[in-house]
Amino acid sequence: MAHPYAGQPIVLTSKHRKLHLIAPPFTEQLGCTLQELNLDTDQLGTFTGEIERTAPPLETAIAKARLGMRATGLQLGIASEGSIGADPLIPFMQSDIEHLVLVDDERNIVISESYRSFDIIAETVTVAPGNNLTDFLATADFPHHALIVRPHSSTTLDAIKGITDHAQLRDAITACVALSPDGLVVIESDLRAMHSPSRQQSITEVARLLAARVAQLCPACHLPGWGRVSHERGLRCSACGREQPNALRQERLGCVGCDHTELGTVLATTLDPANCGGCNP
């Protein structure tokens, strides 16, 4: 049986050239065609803060997809949104959490996946003219990763983005120093997808995950998007027998449309003593 999306056009709403990152697994696994539409998705928020993102990343991705769907009249839309900063579970580490959604207005469903990576390059430094930038530029992987320069203690509207060579960087520093109240400038990673290869890797991975999920049909109602929705919890320590109620035991699979669920992959049958509060307090 052909997949419901086989041969169907899907609009990818993006201002930052993501088609080559997202389209391949959808073409390979589903046989659908993605077309990228360049719209002003910055209206929903920017990394540099000129426009604050007021909605959570998942809701923002859905809103992006709907922008393209309204503009084209298509019933299927895809969009992504990244959240880069202190990791929500390990705050002393920096992570990139990428959300990707497929919105299907014909079937009234939203299928989503996320991917979390600690390999993101997102550096920032505040400097005065003439400061040695050698170490910072190496850590920031410049010019492989682009940079942004903006005046210190000033509006982000004056930021100069997409800097990819040393001459551009020198000119941007000179221009921003002239606008800076204290003569300092902030140099930071440009986290827009087309300028951040490390973020591109995460977007490629979340696209693979979402395409794989969309490819699976619900055993009950046959809607696309069957996959993990939660976990069964609770394991006993293999050494002392003490139960850890929050330990992940098994996946639970579910549908994005109906309430059908099934048990999935068994993750563990006993708790490692290293994770036991009794054996390893």
pLDDT confidence of 40, banded at 50, 70, 90?
A: confident
- Between CA 147 and CA 161 the distance in angstroms is 6
Q: Which residue has the tokens 């005046």?
A: 151
Question: Based on the domain organization, do 174 and 47 belong to the same domain?
Answer: no
Q: Is it the case that residue 51 has pLDDT exceeding 90?
A: no
Question: Based on the domain organization, do 76 and 202 belong to the same domain?
Answer: yes
User: For residues 123 and 134, is the Cβ–Cβ distance under 8 A?
Assistant: no
Lowest mean pLDDT among 36-45, 175-184, 238-247: 36-45
Residue 129 within a domain: yes
Question: Based on the domain organization, do 46 and 71 belong to the same domain?
Answer: yes
Question: Based on the domain organization, do 162 and 147 belong to the same domain?
Answer: yes
Question: Based on the domain organization, do 103 and 205 belong to the same domain?
Answer: yes
Question: Based on the domain organization, do 130 and 96 belong to the same domain?
Answer: no
As a 3-state breakdown, the chain gives helix, strand, coil percent values, each rounded to 5, of 30, 30, 40
- Between CA 124 and CA 184 the distance in angstroms is 13
Question: Based on the domain organization, do 26 and 106 belong to the same domain?
Answer: yes
Question: Based on the domain organization, do 49 and 65 belong to the same domain?
Answer: yes
pLDDT computed for residue 47 by the predictor: 61
pLDDT confidence of 48, banded at 50, 70, 90?
A: low
Summarize the confidence of residues 244-251 as an average pLDDT: 94
pLDDT computed for residue 52 by the predictor: 72
Residue 1 within a domain: no
Q: Is it the case that residue 232 has pLDDT exceeding 80?
A: yes
Residue 181 belongs to domain with CATH number? 3.30.1490.20
DSSP helix/strand/coil, 102 = strand
Count of residues in the chain = 281
Summarize the confidence of residues 246-262 as an average pLDDT: 96
pLDDT confidence of 154, banded at 50, 70, 90?
A: low
pLDDT confidence of 254, banded at 50, 70, 90?
A: very high
Lowest mean pLDDT among 109-113, 149-153, 245-249, 275-279: 275-279
Across 124-267, the runs of DSSP E, i.e. the strands, are 124-127, 147-151, 160-163, 185-189, 227-236, 243-254, 261-266
Question: Based on the domain organization, do 88 and 208 belong to the same domain?
Answer: yes
Q: Is it the case that residue 149 has pLDDT exceeding 90?
A: yes
Q: Is it the case that residue 53 has pLDDT exceeding 90?
A: no
Residue 280 within a domain: no
Question: Based on the domain organization, do 88 and 105 belong to the same domain?
Answer: yes
The model's pTM:
0.89
- Between CA 51 and CA 64 the distance in angstroms is 15
Residue 36 within a domain: yes
pLDDT confidence of 147, banded at 50, 70, 90?
A: very high
Residue 145 within a domain: yes
Number of domains in the chain: 3
User: For residues 252 and 264, is the Cβ–Cβ distance under 8 A?
Assistant: yes
User: 83 to each of 116, 166, 210, 256, how far by Cα in Å?
Assistant: 9, 28, 17, 24
The helix (run of H) or strand (run of E) holding residue 12 is strand 9-13
Residue 111 within a domain: yes
Which residue would you say has higher pLDDT here, 181 or 201? 201
Q: Is it the case that residue 46 has pLDDT exceeding 80?
A: no
Which residue would you say has higher pLDDT here, 146 or 130? 146
Residue 93 within a domain: yes
pLDDT confidence of 269, banded at 50, 70, 90?
A: very high
Question: Based on the domain organization, do 147 and 246 belong to the same domain?
Answer: no
Residue 257 within a domain: yes
Boundaries of domain holding 258: 229-275
pLDDT computed for residue 146 by the predictor: 98
pLDDT, the chain, mean: 93
Question: Based on the domain organization, do 170 and 259 belong to the same domain?
Answer: no
